[in-house]
Amino acid sequence: DQQVKQNSPSLSVQEGRISILNCDYTNSMFDYFLWYKKYPAEGPTFLISISSIKDKNEDGRFTVFLNKSAKHLSLHIVPSQPGDSAVYFCAASARGAGSYQLTFGKGTKLSVIP
Amino acid sequence: DSGVTQTPKHLITATGQRVTLRCSPRSGDLSVYWYQQSLDQGLQFLIQYYNGEERAKGNILERFSAQQFPDLHSELNLSSLELGDSALYFCASSVLAGVEQFFGPGTRLTVL
């Protein structure tokens, strides 16, 4: 049973436009959420995170929104750049339960078209 | 560069064999995590160590084992290898209180 789901395997966006990547989770114990970006032949790179006590966190062009009641989070990238083309993984952990292991979604491949 | 190093980068071996993957965490990080990424799968948590002690176990097979040494590097041992064990194996590290885990470049294991 997948506890973290990224239902869109791929997404194509024009350069300069907004990219929106979505993630759903089922485990109510999750209280910390992260986004990682992964280029081919490299390990995942931490991008941005959000605690369940917040509903938004912003870092430059990247913003993560959390809707706890819907168990849904999204990553917005504005404006999108060709260098943003990568696979994006959503991850979650249950820090409050003392669990720091990350549960990952299967990823969304973002292609930013120049 | 995350500061986490993994060796070897690639490993090709045969079924039934045993291999050891090595990870050095970022300087100052006491916690090490191992993840497996199979084809078409997200990263699956295997096991976590903190300052030499096992802290959490995920979907780790009994044929797999790990340890963290006094110098904080970690090794993941995979034995009686099967074709299905072919995957990318990532190591990550963090300070325990933080959740932002920093990943190494991975070891690609191919079992023939």
Query: Do the Cβ atoms of B104 and A43 come within 8 Å?
Result: yes
CA-CA-CA-CA torsion sign (A37, A42, A43, A46): negative
Task: List CB contacts (< 8 A) between B92 and chain A.
Answer: 43
By the CB < 8 Å criterion, does A103 face chain B? yes
- In chain A, which among 20-49 make CB contacts under 8 A with chain B? 32, 34, 36, 41-46, 49
Pick the closest to residue B106 from B94, B89, B93, B92 (CA basis). B89
Query: Do the Cβ atoms of A46 and B31 come within 8 Å?
Result: no
Answer whether B28's CB lies under 8 Å from B95's CB: yes
By the CB < 8 Å criterion, does B53 face chain A? no
C-alpha pair distances (Å), A69 with each of A26, A38, A53, B60: 11, 29, 12, 32
Pick the closest to residue A113 from A74, A79, A67, A80 (CA basis). A80
| Chains A, B: CB pairs < 8 Å | 62
What Rg do the C-alpha atoms of chain B give, in angstroms?
13
Q: Which residues of A57-89 are buried (b: 16+ CB within 10 A; e: fewer)?
A: eeeeebbbbbeeeebebbbbbeebeeebbbbbb
Q: Which two tokens stand for residue A50?
A: 């959000």
**Strand boundaries in chain B, DSSP class E:** 5-7, 10-13, 19-24, 31-37, 43-50, 53-57, 64-68, 74-78, 87-94, 102-103, 107-111
Query: Do the Cβ atoms of A106 and B94 come within 8 Å?
Result: no
To the nearest whole Å, the CA of A42 is away from the closest chain B CA by 5
To the nearest whole Å, the CA of A114 is away from the closest chain B CA by 26
- The amino acid present at A9, given as its one-letter code, is P
Pick the closest to residue B34 from B24, B42, B44 (CA basis). B44
Q: What confidence tens digit (pLDDT) does each residue in B29-79 have?
A: 999 999 999 877 789 999 999 999 998 899 899 999 999 999 999 999 999
Which DSSP state fits A16? T
Query: Hey, how many other C-beta atoms are within 10 angstroms of the C-beta on B81?
Result: 20
Q: What confidence tens digit (pLDDT) does each residue in A18-72 have?
A: 999 999 999 999 999 999 999 988 899 999 999 999 999 999 999 999 999 999 9
Query: Hey, how many other C-beta atoms are within 10 angstroms of the C-beta on B16?
Result: 10
Q: How confident is the model at residue B98 (pLDDT cuts 50, 70, 90)?
A: low
Higher local confidence (pLDDT), B22 or B2: B22
- H/E stretch holding A20 reads strand A19-25
- % of chain B exceeding 90 in pLDDT: 80
To the nearest whole Å, the CA of B79 is away from the closest chain A CA by 24
Which residue in B31, B32, B43 has the most chain A C-beta atoms within 10 A of its own C-beta, making it the best mutation to test that interface? B43
